[in-house]
Amino acid sequence: MQAKINPYLYLRGNSEEAMYFYRDVFGGEIVTLRRYGDVPDIPCAEEDRDKILHGHLKVADQAIYFSDAIGNQSVNFGNQVSLTLELTEADVIEKVYNALAEGGEVLMPLQDTFWGAKYGKLTDRFGINWDLNCQL
């Protein structure tokens, strides 16, 4: 069997902002920005019409999907899921780590580790947990 597991990020009304942020950090491409108001069969409040029903960000050959919670849907910040970014260049990991950390919370500073990698852990400003790893 061949399959891919793609992350689907559910956010509190700022999916579009997050998509552009991650696009700028990773150099990706926004493939789809479908809003709740674009789909006639989905009832939603007027203030939710511009929120993202489905967003698709392509980074290299990886898809990251996004959606905003609307109405009585809730999204809670949590630590049960973390996105792991494996990099091969030490200077790139520092740039990406610093960009993701801006406005977020550093959980483990970027540092050389006993397993021979540069590693750091953080929660970005959108509440997404990241593990960044670069084998040295």
- Structure pTM? 0.82
Nearest by Cα to 8 from 128, 135, 123, 114: 128
Domain co-membership, 16 together with 50: yes
Which of 18-22, 54-58, 127-131 is predicted with the least confidence, judged by mean pLDDT? Answer: 127-131
**Whether residues 117 and 92 fall in one domain:** yes
Amino acid at 104: G
| pLDDT number for residue 3 | 62
**Are 93 and 63 in the same domain?**
no
Q: What is the CATH number of the domain that holds 35?
A: 3.30.720.100
Domain match, 62 and 90 both: no
Quote the domain boundaries for residue 21: 8-68
The structure tokens listed for 58 are 């392509």
Do residues 58 and 87 share a domain?
A: no
Q: Rounded to whole angstroms, how far apart are CA atoms 131 and 124?
A: 11
- Is residue 1, in this structure, part of any structural domain at all? no
State the pLDDT confidence band at 78, using cuts at 50, 70 and 90: low
d(CA 121, CA 54): 27
For residue 120, tell me if it sits in a domain. Answer: yes
CATH number at residue 109: 3.10.180.10
34, 68, 102 - which closes a domain: 68
Count: domains in the chain? 2
Confidence class for position 108, pLDDT limits 50, 70, 90: very high
